[in-house]
Chains A and B, each alone.
Chain A
Amino acid sequence: NAGVTQTPKFRVLKTGQSMTLLCAQDMNHEYMYWYRQDPGMGLRLIHYSVGEGTTAKGEVPDGYNVSRLKKQNFLLGLESAAPSQTSVYFCASSYPRGTQETQYFGPGTRLLVL
Chain B
Amino acid sequence: TQLLEQSPQFLSIQEGENLTVYCNSSSVFSSLQWYRQEPGEGPVLLVTVVTGGEVKKLKRLTFQFGDARKDSSLHITAAQPGDTGLYLCAAHRGKLIFGQGTTLQVKP
Contact = CB atoms under 8 A, between A and B. Distances in A.
B47 to A, nearest CB: 10
Q: Of residues B30, B33, B40, B95, which shows the largest number of chain A Cβ atoms within 10 Å of its Cβ?
A: B95
Contacts of B96: 33, 45, 101, 103
Nearest to B42: A105
Contact of B43 (A40, A100, A105): A105
B interface secondary structure, majority: loop
Interface in A47-74: 48, 58
The interface size bin for chain A is: 20 to 34
A43 B43 contact: yes
B48 interface: yes
B95 A45 contact: yes
A41 B100 contact: yes
Contact of A102 (B45, B98, B101): B45
Given A102-B45, A105-B44, A108-B40, 5 more contacts: A33-B96, A41-B100, A42-B100, A43-B98, A107-B42
Interface of B: 2, 4, 9, 29-31, 33, 40-45, 48, 50, 88, 91-92, 95-96, 98-101
Interface of A: 4, 33, 40-45, 48, 58, 90, 92, 98-103, 105-108
